[in-house]
Structures are given as C-alpha cells and as structure tokens.
Amino acid sequence: MTITTQSLIRWSGPAVIIAGLSYALVGVFHPPNIVASVTTPLWMVVHVLAMTTSIFGLVGLSGLYARQAEKTGWLGLAGYVLLSLWLALILGFTFVEVFILPPLATAAPAFVAGWLGMFNGTSSTLDLGSLPTVWTITGPLYILGGLLFGIATFRARILPRWAGVLLAVGAAMGPVAALLPLDLQPKVAVPVGLALIWLGYSLWSERRTKSVAPATHAADVSGLTPAPAV
C-alpha cells in the first residue's frame, strides 16, 4: 500500500481512538491522589494510559485537524494548538507520575504529597516553584482548546457534527469537576474520551472516495482567484 497524505490522515483515526479510549479509562479508573496510591499497580497502569493519551493524542489530533484544516479556519487552528499544548504539558505531569513519584514515595513523601496536593487542593509543605501555576494553566488550555476545536468541527461539517458538540460540551464541563467530590472528579474525562473515539472512528471509516474529495484543490484554486471586490 502506498502511503499518501490521505491515508496518513485516515490512519490517524485509530490514533485518535486510542487517545480517546485511554483518556476515558483514565477518567474511570483514576485512583485517589494520595501518597499510598502512587506505589500501586493501578496507579502505574492509569498513568501509563495517560501517557498513551498524550502521544496518540498529539499524533491523532494532527490528522483530525489536517482532515478539516481548510474548512475550520483560524478557530480550528487555535483549538488544535491549545489542545496540543495541553497534551504536551499533560505528558510532563504524567511522566513525573510514572517515573518520579513511585521511587520518591518512600524517599521523599513530602514532595509526593505536595505534588498530589496540586490536584486535591491541599497545600504543599515544600515549595513547588512554578509547577502549581503550570498545572493551573492546563485547565484553560483544555477547556478552550476542546471548546474551539469542537465548535470548529461542528461548523466544518466534515466529521460528525454531534461528536464536535460532545467534545465542546465535554471540555466545557471541566470546571464542573471542582464541584464534584474528589473521587468523582476524574470522571469528567469520559465525555471527551467518547467524543475522541467517535471522531477517530469517523476519520478512519470515511469512505475513501469521500476522504479523497475534501482536500480537493478546489479550495486551493478558489484561493487563487481574486477575492470579491470590496
């Protein structure tokens, strides 16, 4: 099989599905953010899944965006950039949770407790520098990124519009998490995970002829014609 840009974009569909599935699973199974959790197998599994969300999300989102770039305009680009930045920062946090927290749970429980405090709202005895600020920034990146990308997807009419709505609404629900009890908070990931699975599946299952058509050069060519005189 020849690898073409179209088939690459199509293949990014399974990457988006994996990202969505792993994200939803993280939401369902995330253990409580307490020091005793970090050395459990469940902690490791859930955070490796979160790392999976990050890499497959970065790759898959590029395909999801490329598929509809011409139609989504600056709104789509802004959503794509914000969500990608979120995925990159999330990688950093989950990387620490996989590789750093477990070995430090015994050697430096104060650091681990301080780290987990960023998520469960307790204050740290150790000065964590700019980390809490960066964690705070991931919130708006996720909410705005998901909202813009969802709306852009809805407006572009290339992929299922309701999947775009689910993504936008799911991301906008982020702040609602703060109202939930701590152990329910990760569950707000589930709608966004489902939206990604849906979008990824559509990208993957689009009929080839259809998927060849949208990138037509019609758009390109029309771009070359002078804009209506104003």
Question: Which of 74, 229 has the CB closer to other proteins?
Answer: 74
Question: Which of 100, 169 has the CB closer to other proteins?
Answer: 100
Q: Is 219 in the site for other proteins (CB under 8 A)?
A: yes
Question: Which of 95, 173 has the CB closer to other proteins?
Answer: 95
CB 146 within 8 A of CB 83: yes
What DSSP string describes 101-153?
Answer: HHHHHHH-HHHHHHHHHHHH-PPPSS--TTHHHHHHHHHHHHHHHHHHHHHHH
- What span, in angstroms and rounded, lies between the C-alpha atoms of 24 and 169? 15
- What span, in angstroms and rounded, lies between the C-alpha atoms of 22 and 229? 50
Q: Is 225 in the site for other proteins (CB under 8 A)?
A: no
Q: Is 139 in the site for other proteins (CB under 8 A)?
A: no
- What span, in angstroms and rounded, lies between the C-alpha atoms of 122 and 124? 7
Q: Is 35 in the site for other proteins (CB under 8 A)?
A: no
- What span, in angstroms and rounded, lies between the C-alpha atoms of 169 and 172? 5
Terminal CA-CA length for the chain:
48
Q: Is 59 in the site for other proteins (CB under 8 A)?
A: yes
Which of 35, 91, 165, 169 lies at the binding interface for other proteins (CB under 8 A)?
Answer: 91
What DSSP string describes 145-179?
Answer: HHHHHHHHHHHHTSS-HHHHHHHHHHHHTGGGGGG
Closest separation in Å from C-beta 59 to other proteins:
7
Question: Which of 95, 119 has the CB closer to other proteins?
Answer: 95
Binding pattern for the stretch 97-136 against other proteins, x by CB under 8 A and - elsewhere: -xxx-xxx--xx-xx--------------xxxxxx--x--
Residues that bind other proteins (CB under 8 A): 2-6, 8, 51, 54-55, 58-59, 62, 66, 69-70, 72-74, 76-77, 85, 88-89, 91-93, 95-96, 98-100, 102-104, 107-108, 110-111, 126-131, 134, 208, 212, 215, 217, 219-220, 223
